[in-house]
Amino acid sequence: MDYGKIIHIFDTTLRDGEQAPGCSMNLTEKIAVARQLERLGVDVIEAGFPASSPGDLTAVKAIAQLIKDATVAALCRALKTDIDKAWEALASAVRPRIHIFLATSPIHLRYKLHISPEQMLEQAVAAVSYAKQYCEEVEFSAEDATRSDLDFVAAVFSAVIKAGARIVNIPDTVGYALPQEFAALVSAIKERTENIEHVQLSVHCHNDLGLAVANSLAAIEAGATQVECTINGLGERAGNASLEEIVMGLRVRHNFLHADTAICTEQLYVSSKLVSQVTGVKVQPNKAIVGDNAFLHEAGIHQHGVLANRETYEIMKPESIGIPQQRFVLGKHSGRHAFETHLQSLGMPVDPALLDKIFLQFKELADRKKEVTDSDVTALVMGISGTVSEVTWKLDRWVVNSGSSLSATSAIRLQHKDGRLIEKVSVGDGPIDAAFKSINQIIEKEPVLELYELSAITSGEDAQGQTMVKIAWNKRCWNGRGVSTDIVESSIKAYLAAINALEWEFGSTAD
């Protein structure tokens, strides 16, 4: 089937998505997401903002060295120092892209940048010219374009294209535009920008009015050739345009939009689950495409129709986004080959270095559960894949006592990476609080517990409990996840995972 023009997918989950409050990822988690984005088939992975922090610089550099099948982009302000940092991070990339942004709207120029439109234009051209010495692919974004003067944006784009920009981007930075309005803006910029036919025209839509996907699709119809988006629509405030919704919108409505992407849609579901796991941001059940209810039918008339013909109430198949329909039952007698084959059927190929570790934990789980479900397996894989590679503290043993007539006490013993064993006893307001206090004594830090969530991965009395915690320390946040059939143990594992992410970035006081 001829799907017409191919739209480039620029994924900014690791940059704009991670900027959402509490969504920070450690290096190992970022690498896991980048690898999944490469399997998904995105054209561009915006890996971070190197000048914003040493951690971002390290992450972008690591991803640039790893990714071979996608362009790796780094964001920077229109400053030579930022551009230098971006190139330091991108130098080893197979296909690097420097992404420069500078605002064009009167409100940003006056109140944030304190420069005139003429100064803005001069700075944008100088930045693009400077970046071209490093790499061929330079993208320029006119921040807050939808609240800018149309002729000014076109003039800026004409100038930066002349300076060497290969991609110009129209961001709806505050989610202000309406679909018809945004389409008209894209069309007008195409008409008024010199040499725009020689470059990619990109859009970057935010979801403040719930219109990010609608605006992106309207822009594609008007001539945009690249869309910037995130997995699950993650991002600041109300989020970004949702990658999975844009991709499936194009795939399902190709008869109207006459466009498609190079995305492997069968990887959408596992990509959504991975990002949800590493950020701790749950996907709402009624979320389009990847929500738990997206393919469920409860009303009797709907069930009758679907049983007769799925197309009566489904415009796409669950399999098309990677939701497996053949349920594979795993247990303690399942072999390594069957386990590995099942991982591949779930869209989760595992590095050989991790497979043995995951399979060992699977066997331990199978000894405690009669039946291991796909959800159990997914939790195992994502839990290990998202673990900080250099672990400062390992759980050696734990004991917790609690009851209605006695105070909760805990004894936790951790092993430091240098081999030392340290044990502390604490009293707390319940077993979880006591356990966390023991860990704080050992690590000699007192992070603030900002989030604690406990959920069952599956149903039944032998279900695994999954704990998600978010801790804050020194004005930074870290997530941690733990999975166990014992909820106290899953809580300890989650807290320790967050602590290890903290220690990886700041170093241990016990060194």
Q: How confident is the model at residue 292 (pLDDT cuts 50, 70, 90)?
A: confident
Strand partners, 211: none
Burial string for 201-224 (b: 16+ CB within 10 Å, else e) reads bbbbbbbbeebbbbbbbbbbbbbb
User: Does the pLDDT of residue 304 top 60, yes or no?
Assistant: no
What value does the mean pLDDT of the chain take? 88
Mean pLDDT over residues 180-195, rounded? 98
**Could you report the per-residue pLDDT of 409-428, keeping only the tens digit for each?**
999 999 999 999 999 999 99
507: confidence class by pLDDT, cuts 50, 70, 90:
low
Q: Cα separation of 247 and 476, whole Å?
A: 33
Q: Which amino acid is at 402?
A: S
Q: 154 — phi, psi (to 5°)?
A: -60, -40
Confidence of residue 22 (pLDDT cuts 50, 70, 90): low
Buried b / exposed e over 265-293, threshold 16 CB at 10 Å, is bbbbbbbbbbbbbbbbbebeeebebbeee
Q: Which pLDDT does position 26 carry in this prediction?
A: 80
Q: What percent of the chain has pLDDT over 90?
A: 62
Which of 10-19, 89-98, 158-167, 450-459 has the least mean pLDDT? 450-459
Rounded (to 5) percent helix, strand, coil in the chain: 45, 20, 30
Among 71, 13, 66, CA closest to 41: 71
Mean pLDDT of 27-43: 93
Instruction: Round to whole Å and give the CA distance between 98 and 66.
Output: 17
Q: What is the mean pLDDT of residues 70-82?
A: 98
The stretch 348-360 carries a mean pLDDT of: 78
